[in-house]
Amino acid sequence: MDDLKQLKALIEKTLKVRCSQYKEEYIKRRLLSRMRTTGSGNYEEYTRYLNNHPAEWELLRNALTINVTEFFRDAEVFEILRKELIPKFISEHNRIRIWCAGCSSGEEPYSLAMIISELTTRKSGISSTIYATDIDENILQKAKDGIYESKAVEKLNTAIIRRHFDELPDGRYRVKQHLKDMIHFRKHDLMSGIPAARYVDIVTCRNVTIYFTEGQKNDLARTIHSALNSGGFYVMGKTEYLGREVEGLFSHYNALQKILIKNDIK
């Protein structure tokens, strides 16, 4: 077995991360970035580094899962978006504007677009926009292309797949144009403040802050607060939390699902 194969086998055994779910190039890119940081010259040296520095395993796990996402990730959160949050703005303002921050390969904004499309099919005069941003240009291109392996859509019901995807001759699925038309994809670094997506009703910023320091997380909360309209919602990842310093900016709307509502600060 070559060094890379051995390392992948060790990763599967130790982290229980299935390397085969990723493209070989992706794994190599992520490993290279950790190898550079740890000063390892090749896969064998990095394997030795892992064996001698147990804390490196967690950093490697984070590096491998950095872009991981899925359609309707955390189904309960999307049910609240579908039944409570999005209908509220549609019925009260005939409008819905969402900023999906850290959108990765697009599954999150396309999930939101599917919900909006279904809630507005029989209504006219509703204006809807989703701004989807990420710092990683490669992943944004994948999001714009909107082409997914069949595994990515296997949990969606067939009616949804039929309505929103075209099956390609190679067995992959491409999201239909009506969903793409609802989304503006843009490169943006969340650490650089507010993007063009201002005055939105909902910000989803989920599973993004894994590498952020406490200070950066606080700045992010301030950025999201100022991007939101009065009464707007901030949907966090299930394991993310608001730092003490910025607690006053939001109240809990649904504490269990990590959905916050903006407090207006006088």
Ligand X SMILES: C[S@@+](CC[C@H](N)C(=O)[O-])C[C@H]1O[C@@H](n2cnc3c(N)ncnc32)[C@H](O)[C@@H]1O
Name which of 128 and 133 has its Cβ closer to ligand X: 133
Q: Least separation, in Å, of the C-beta of 26 and ligand X?
A: 12
Name which of 47 and 226 has its Cβ closer to ligand X: 226
Give bridge partners of residue 166 from the DSSP assignment: 174
Decide: residue 116, CB within 10 A, 0-12 exposed, 13-18 middle, 19+ buried.
Answer: buried
Q: Least separation, in Å, of the C-beta of 164 and ligand X?
A: 18
Q: Least separation, in Å, of the C-beta of 204 and ligand X?
A: 7
**Kindly report the CA angle at 105 between 68 and 188, in degrees rounded to 5?**
105
Q: Is 103 helix (H, G, I), strand (E, B) or coil?
A: coil
In this structure, are residues 106 and 132 in contact, taking their beta carbons and an 8 Å threshold? yes
Q: Least separation, in Å, of the C-beta of 134 and ligand X?
A: 5
Q: Least separation, in Å, of the C-beta of 264 and ligand X?
A: 26
Name which of 89 and 110 has its Cβ closer to ligand X: 110
Q: Least separation, in Å, of the C-beta of 207 and ligand X?
A: 4
> Which chain residues interact with ligand X by CB under 6 A?
66-69, 73, 102, 104, 108, 134-136, 139, 189-191, 206-208, 237
Would you state the structure tokens that stand for residue 230, as one six-digit string?
A: 């009065």
Name which of 137 and 264 has its Cβ closer to ligand X: 137
Closest CA relative to residue 116, chosen from 46, 224, 201 = 201
Name which of 4 and 208 has its Cβ closer to ligand X: 208
Which backbone phi and psi does 256 adopt, to 5 degrees? Answer: -65, -45
Which backbone phi and psi does 144 adopt, to 5 degrees? Answer: -65, -40
Name which of 190 and 200 has its Cβ closer to ligand X: 190
Closest CA relative to residue 134, chosen from 126, 142, 125 = 142
